[in-house]
Amino acid sequence: MHFMSIIYVRLHLHKKRSEVKQPFAQVLGVSLLKPLKGVDPNLISNLETFFTLDYPKYEILLCVQDQDDPAVDVCKKLLGKYPNVDAGLFIGGKKVGINPKINNLMPGYEAAKYGLVWICDSGIRVKPDTLTDLTNQMTEKVGLVHGLPYVADRQGFAATLEQVYFGTSHPRSYISANVTGIKCVTGMSCLMRKDVLDHAGGLVAFAQYIAEDYFMAKAIADRGWKFSMATQVALQNSGSYSIGQFQSRMIRWTKLRINMVPATVLEPVSECFLASLIIGWAAHHVFRWDMMVFFMCHCLAWFIADYIQLTGVQGGPLSFSKLDFAVAWFIRESMAVQIFLSALWDPTISWRTGRYRLRCGGTAEEILDV
């Protein structure tokens, strides 16, 4: 997995392909669906990068659930600043299921006028040529283009911890799964064919799931379409972050994976310390090698491979020192088993303003306070 992901990162990511391949008359139009709730210090700067995209045919559909949400004022400010950008604001959502993101996006999805829809989270920041990169990957047999999740350079140890995770453990599994044909997609930044989604029932069909991105990708794959990964990462740049928020997010994601893919219960053996212990024990019993020496050497090799992968995903110099990396890497690896056990302990999750009880298969029910 390390070798696959490192080689893929070096060969595929951060390649300059900024020119639109098709002439203007044949350029694929894109409807950008932007789910928004609340504001953070980086929201307006993140959103503004979508208004300055260097792409000839796209629309921005800003979706806010509540009229009194402060995100409404941010949207109106940007709409006023960029009157020549094809953009609109949709407030109120439409209740079609338990998934609040789907409910929020429904009015925008129904108003989308182009054949491609780009669902992109509020904390994502883009470059002027990001949409060009996505559409260039949307070839004849491709139904979904996704970006590898990563994190922008920010201040503080919590930011370093997130960057280390999204540059090591996450892409190792994410990339190796996609390279071997396993459909692994996160919904942070996904470009999809709208007619394929409509054939699967539209967004409504996925409102019963919390992990709507997994089931949308599955529906597209089940209809014979291929996936492609963008050469640019999906750059998360939330202005609100902490170690506690990171841990809660990891626990929530693990709970979802356990309920969608039961084989997730084997996930801890893919983490460094536990894998090194198991392999060290095997080496001791088969070859009579010293177990602890093998354990330390295996952890060191893993650590070095993770650092090489992180620098590849970053695509440039890191914003923190090697010592910061070592500390963050050790803490993240030490948290892995605790996160997994916490996910097993409680089958409920808190997301946005709601609480949900997960069911086997990926569906969920909302827990209403009495």
Catalytic residues: 213
Burial label, 274 (beta-carbon count in 10 A; 0-12, 13-18, 19+)? middle
CA-wise closest residue to 168 among 153, 187, 149: 149
Residue whose entry in the numeric block shows the structure tokens 């390649």: 15
- Separation of alpha carbons 309 and 169, rounded Å: 9
Structure tokens at 120: 């992109």
- DSSP letter for each residue of 9-23: HHHHTT----S-SS-
β-pairing verdict for 354-358 and 364-366 = antiparallel
To the nearest 5 percent, what fractions of the chain are helix, strand and coil? 50, 15, 35
Residue whose entry in the numeric block shows the structure tokens 């990171």: 246
Structure tokens at 289: 């090698």
Q: Sign of torsion, CA 21 22 24 26?
A: negative
CA-wise closest residue to 17 among 233, 316, 315, 231: 231
> By the 8 A CB rule, do 64 and 75 touch?
yes
Contacts 24+ apart (CB under 8 A), 261-268: 262/360, 267/340, 268/336, 268/337, 268/340
> By the 8 A CB rule, do 118 and 29 touch?
no
- Contacts of 292 by beta carbon, 8 Å cutoff, 6+ apart: 280
